[in-house]
Amino acid sequence: MKVLIVLAIFGCSTLLVNADQAKKAIVFLQSTAGVVGNVTLSQPSCTEPVFIEVSVIGLTPGKHGFHIHEKGDLSDGCASTGGHYNPDKVSHGAPNDQVRHVGDLGNILADEHGIAKTSFSDTVVSLYGSRSVLGRGIVIHAEIDDLGKTNHPDSLKTGNAGGRVACGVIGVL
């Protein structure tokens, strides 16, 4: 219900957008840590979930925090993408939590060869309206995102996911 209200307020209306026009985006990842890959986002209309596909190689095996950050600014590498995209100014959380940053997409899992290939849907991230993530950044972290569930002082801010090993800008496809 909360999501529906938010969508109504922030522009998911046939008065404001063409609900039949699917939007697609691509992220070409850049890295100084040998990570190579891309992420695509697609959303058939503003009332439907966004579908996210991740294809990455060169990671260390295990889970890596995976977020949409506020800025699509790579002028200082991944460091200049700002914090997690968080227009509601709430605490960090898991993708399925009621309270989470819009950008909180949890973790991606790299296999023993450092390959992460996955896809999932998200109902909070949108490619439409004033809360669109188009032009913002995607960041893959060195460590696991604790999803706001530990006692670490950064848990409810960043998930304590460590350094930034790859990033890119969410561009119109």
Contact residues for Cu ion, defined by CB under 5 A: 67, 139
State the binding partner of 139 from Zn ion, Cu ion, none, CB within 5 to 8 A by kind. Cu ion
CB 103 → Cu ion: shortest distance, Å? 7
Cβ 85 to Zn ion shortest distance, Å: 8
The residue from 64, 100, 101, 136 that is catalytic is 101
Helix intervals (H) in the chain: 2-9, 155-158
For residue 41, give Cα distances in angstroms to 29, 51, 68, 78. Answer: 14, 6, 12, 20
Residue 98: closest CA among 121, 123, 119, 118: 123
101 binds, among Cu ion, Zn ion, none (CB under 5 to 8 A by kind): Zn ion
C-alpha angle with apex 29: 65 to 92, nearest 5 degrees?
25
Residues in contact with 4: Cβ distance below 8 Å, sequence separation at least 6, in sequence order:
none
Tell me if 84 contacts Zn ion by CB under 5 A.
yes
- Shorter beta-carbon distance to Zn ion: residue 83 or 114: 83
Tell me which residue has its CB nearest to Cu ion: 67
Which has the closest alpha carbon to 60: 112, 106, 107, 138?
A: 112
Neighbouring CB atoms inside 10 A of 2's CB total 7
Catalytic residue, from 64, 69, 100, 136: name it: 69
Choice among 92, 100, 131, 136 that is catalytic: 92
Residues at the interface with Zn ion (CB under 5 A): 84, 92, 101, 104
Catalytic residues, by residue number, are 67, 69, 84, 92, 101, 104, 141, 164
